[in-house]
Amino acid sequence: MNEKIFDASYEYARSLDEQDELSTFRSEFYLKEGTIYLDGNSLGLLSKRAEKALLEMLDSWKEYGIDGWTEGKYPWFTLSEHLGKLVAPLIHASADEVIVTGSTTTNLHQMVSTFYEPVGKKTKILADELTFPSDIYSLQSQLLLRGFNPDTHLIRVKSRDGRLLEEEDIIAAMSDEVALIVLPSVLYRSGQVLDMKRLTEEAHKRDIIIGFDLCHSIGAIPHYFNEWDVDFAVWCHYKYLNSGPGGVGGLYVNKRHFGKKPGLAGWFGSKKEKQFDMEHLFTQAANAGAYQIGTPHVLSIAPLIGSIGMFEEAGIEKIRNKSLHMTSYMMNLISFKLKDYGFSLGNPVEERRRGGHIYLEHTEAARICKALKMNGVIPDFRAPNGIRLAPVALYNSFEDVWKSIDILKEIMVKEQYKQFENKRGVIA
């Protein structure tokens, strides 16, 4: 940052909001007065459209009873496929390659059980040491189910600095013993965006199936799966896509894999026209719907119907541009206002490698997060010393960013954090 040209004034923040072409979406969300919500990378806020969609779904249950499966505005029987078509543009995939179903971990189990095919010495799974723990638990359990020791058969690429991964290190680990690769699209702590296109190309050169966990990227950055040729992906909808706590997840399967038998077959993976024949012979759907397992959680899917419309209207490229502008602005403010208070940036500064949140590190991070909440700023703590701040394009403003860093400086100047224990809460 060039301090001679950076304008750290409140008035400049307001002027950025006046120029923001996405600012009208802010009024679509329930924003708590006196609170600046910067935790949308953990749980997005409720929108009025999502609320309306949920109430409409309750009404369809009330009105139709069992006939809601085939009648009403959004028949439940094909709801997962309908929403798959609406989510697909966010990752630039074909509509039949995406299905809204399950949860991130359930879907990952499905994908690994389907695509992990150990043959000869090609028996190992490649992941990384910085990924979200649930993904590691899934991979470990899948290896155990196949009779392999996770200590020897789960490769976790090391980080050079504990924050970031280097694509070169991941590629170097793609040995002829690797049968499957599962990586995050964006690292949940540091917010680093991995080069999915490059990693996919390198994996395929070595005849390795590769999939990604998109939980911290979908709805925040564009993906181009129709160009990148990724084999599969899984994600949640409750972070940047604002579908509500525990909202139903999603998965993508590259169409060139259609027809591959799901590792975990379930009733809702059947061809729709065959499902109610009630045969004991599984006839799988001819698209990504084949990888559904159980009956869709209709009331948990419903909010996504309302939320996804805003992404169609705003456009994922515009959302990404605003997100980059906001995180860049936040980093400049941090450098300008907080340089003397022991903070360090743990996220990438380059736009192509930076996701939707800022990752600040401080030895007193847990206490600082509690002080921020006391002052009406909602951050996210990640052990051992990380503060995640996510200015979300659809409902946060540049004024929010300015005020949050101003409040953070006041907390440090007055040492307000010292009244709290430097220990995370039950939910960090």
Same domain flag for 235 and 379: no
Residue 370 contacts residue 379 (beta carbons within 8 Å): no
Would you say residue 427 lies in a domain?
no
Q: What is the mean pLDDT of residues 349-369?
A: 97
Same domain, 304 and 157: yes
206: pLDDT strictly greater than 60? yes
Where does a domain end: 313, 335, 362? 313
Cα distances from 336 to residues 6, 78, 327, 409, in angstroms, run 9, 52, 14, 10
Same domain, 387 and 257: no
Residue 46 belongs to some domain of the structure: no
Tell me: pLDDT of 239 over 90.
yes
Same domain, 254 and 329: no
pLDDT tens across 64-84, in order? 999 999 999 999 999 999 999
- Domain membership flag for residue 82: yes
267 annotated as belonging to a binding site for a ligand: yes
Tell me the average pLDDT across 358-372.
97
Residue 76 annotated in ligand binding = no
Is the model's pLDDT at 236 over the cut of 60? yes
Confirm or deny that 96 is annotated as ligand binding. Answer: no
CA distance 287 to 260: 10
* Spatial distance between the Cα atoms of 138 and 314, rounded to a whole number of angstroms: 35
Closest residue by Cα to residue 395 from 91, 53, 13, 44: 44
At residue 1, does pLDDT exceed 90?
no
Q: Assess whether pLDDT exceeds 70 at residue 215.
A: yes
Residue that terminates a domain, selected from 313, 348, 382: 313
37 domain-assigned = no
- Residue 424 has a pLDDT of 75
Q: Are residues 64 and 211 in the same domain?
A: yes
Q: What's the CA gap between 109 and 255, in Å, rounded? A: 19
If you average pLDDT over every residue of the chain, what do you get? 97
Mean pLDDT score, 34-62: 98
Q: Residue 169 in contact with residue 199, Cβ under 8 Å?
A: no
Known binder of ligand: residue 134? yes
Residue 428 covered by a domain: no
Q: Is 257 annotated as a binding residue?
A: no
Q: Which residues are CB-neighbours of 229 under 8 A, at least 6 positions away?
A: 200, 201, 204, 254
Verify that 249 and 374 share a domain, yes or no: no
Half-sphere exposure for 300 (CA within 13 Å, toward CB):
16
Tens-place pLDDT, residues 143-195: 999 999 999 999 999 999 999 999 999 999 999 999 999 999 999 999 999 99
Confidence at residue 421, expressed as pLDDT on a 0 to 100 scale: 87
CA distance 217 to 50: 20
Q: Are residues 96 and 238 in the same domain?
A: yes
Residues 339 and 256 in one domain: no
What does the pLDDT read at residue 428? 66
> Hey, which bits of 294-396 come out as E strands?
344-345, 358-361, 377-378, 380-382, 386-389
Q: Quick one: pLDDT at residue 253?
A: 98
What's the mean pLDDT in 9-30? 98
The sheet carrying 380-382 orders its strands as 344-345, 358-361, 386-389, 380-382
- pLDDT > 50? residue 3: no
105 is in an annotated binding site: yes
Q: Is 47 exposed, middle or buried (0-12, 13-18, 19+ CB in 10 A)?
A: buried
Whether the pLDDT of residue 294 is over 80: the answer is: yes
Q: Phi and psi for 393 in degrees, rounded to 5? A: -60, -35
Q: Is 12 annotated as a binding residue?
A: no
* Position 395 pLDDT exceeds 80: yes
Whether pLDDT at 4 is above 60: no
The answer to whether 228 is annotated as binding is no
Could you give the CA distance from residue 125 to residue 209 in angstroms, rounded to a whole number? Answer: 10
- Are 139 and 124 in contact by the 8 Å Cβ rule? The answer is no
Count up the domains in the chain and report the number: 2
Domain endpoint, select from 313, 333, 356: 313
Question: Does 272 score more than 90 pLDDT?
Answer: yes
Token output for 246: 């525990």
Burial level of 94, CB count in 10 A (0-12/13-18/19+)?
A: middle
Q: Report whether 104 belongs to an annotated binding site.
A: yes
Looking at residue 5, its pLDDT comes to 81
pLDDT for the residue numbered 425: 76
* 266 pLDDT more than 70: yes
**36 domain-assigned:** no
Same domain, 223 and 124: yes
Q: What percent of the chain has pLDDT over 90?
A: 97
| Distance, CA of 230 to CA of 313 (rounded, Å) | 26
Residue 295 counted as an annotated binding residue: yes
The mean pLDDT value for 117-142 works out to: 98
The Cα-based distances of 355 to 192, 216, 219, 349 in angstroms read 6, 8, 11, 10
Residue 328 has pLDDT above 90, yes or no: yes
Cα 40 to Cα 238: distance, rounded to the nearest angstrom:
9
Q: Is 352 helix (H, G, I), strand (E, B) or coil?
A: helix
Any domain includes 1: no
pLDDT of residue 181: 99
Range of the domain at 132: 51-313
The answer to whether position 377 is within a domain reads yes
Q: Which of 389, 364, 371, 403 has its CA nearest to residue 190?
A: 389
State mean pLDDT over 110-123: 98
24 is in an annotated binding site: no
55 and 157 inside one domain? yes
169 and 226 together in one domain: yes
Do 347 and 275 fall into the same domain?
no
86: CATH: 3.40.640.10
